[in-house]
């Protein structure tokens, strides 16, 4: 039976996810309730299929955005509505089956034990994971740890994580960025700047091949250009905050 909560929900941003989405959502529903899906302007029929599933399961809510706005925008819409409904924390996961739904209760329990933290998945890759994706993230991780004076971000890009809603929403409302592929790494860096401590938990990640129903919206040149611009502005922000960050590190050491 799924665990029911009035404070923690599962939030799944979804854009043209392919056939894996229904299995992903069902797997999440088997572990937790409620589960909310934000359909980010999908044109593949997944929105209609999810709404039909919601009609059969009271633990599922589907929010449909009229056009594609990006992952960060979808998360912002979801957490804004969630906070209005009384929720304090959201576990985000991808809609394409890459993230381990069976670990939802463990991540939620870690969050409930330390409400002021963010619980970050640290990916454990299978042997067949694309080397470009595995090795490429090391650059972003290195920058994220520098920009936070090594507060403990295990992985800056893995989207399976539990956020405290209020500080994340406040950061996003003050910031024009964090709306697309740059959401995950920028969110953890800026939350660290706000004093939200990361807690890391190992979690497997699986990349599905197209013949297995896998869908990837990652575009190497476009998304790495976006990450480069993101870390450029974050580094400037880091330099401006450096005295405060140094003081915090000394205060807790």
Torsion sign (Cα): 20, 57, 87, 27? negative
Question: CA-based angle 195:251:157, to the nearest 5?
Answer: 35
State the Cα–Cα distance between residues 15 and 18, nearest whole angstrom.
Answer: 9
Global pTM reads: 0.91
Please state, rounded to an integer, the average pLDDT across all residues of the chain: 91
> pLDDT at position 2, please?
95
Residue 187 vs residue 250, higher pLDDT: 187
Average pLDDT for 98-111: 97
> pLDDT at position 59, please?
97
Average pLDDT for 24-49: 96
Of the candidates 218, 178, 20, the one whose C-alpha atom is nearest the C-alpha of residue 101 is 20
Contact by Cβ (8 Å): 159, 204: no
> pLDDT at position 214, please?
52
Domains of the chain: 3-252 (3.90.550.10)
Average pLDDT for 47-53: 95
* CA 63 to the chain's CA centroid: 17
Tokens describing residue 51 = 């709404």
Average pLDDT for 187-206: 96
For the ranges 147-151, 152-156, 236-240, 246-250, the lowest mean pLDDT is seen at 246-250
Residue 215 vs residue 38, higher pLDDT: 38
For the ranges 10-19, 125-134, 151-160, the lowest mean pLDDT is seen at 125-134
Helices (H) and strands (E) in the chain, counts: 8, 9
């Amino acid at each position: 039976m799924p665990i029911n909560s009035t404070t923690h929900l599962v939030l799944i941003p979804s854009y043209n996810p392919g056939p894996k989405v229904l299995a992903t959502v069902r797997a999440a529903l088997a572990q937790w309730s409620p589960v909310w899906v934000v359909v980010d302007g999908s044109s593949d029929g997944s929105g209609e299929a999810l709404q039909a599933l919601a009609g059969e399961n009271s633990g599922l809510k589907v929010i449909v955005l009229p056009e594609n706005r990006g992952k960060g925008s979808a998360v912002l819409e979801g957490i804004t509505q969630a906070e209005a409904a009384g929720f304090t924390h959201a576990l985000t996961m991808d809609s394409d089956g890459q993230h381990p739904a069976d670990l939802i209760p463990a991540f939620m329990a870690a969050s409930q034990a330390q409400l002021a933290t963010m619980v970050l998945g640290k990916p454990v890759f299978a042997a067949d994971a694309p080397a470009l994706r595995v090795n490429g993230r090391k650059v972003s991780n290195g920058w994220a740890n520098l920009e936070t004076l090594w507060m403990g971000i295990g992985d800056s890009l893995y989207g399976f994580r539990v956020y405290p809603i209020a500080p994340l929403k406040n950061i996003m409302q003050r910031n024009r960025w964090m709306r697309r592929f740059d959401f995950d790494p920028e969110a953890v860096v800026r939350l660290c700047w706000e004093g939200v401590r990361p807690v890391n938990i190992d979690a497997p990640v699986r990349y599905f091949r197209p013949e297995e129903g896998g869908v990837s919206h990652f575009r190497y040149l476009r998304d790495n250009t976006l990450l480069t611009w993101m870390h450029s502005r974050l580094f400037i922000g880091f330099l401006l905050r450096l005295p405060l960050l140094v003081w915090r590190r000394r205060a807790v050491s």
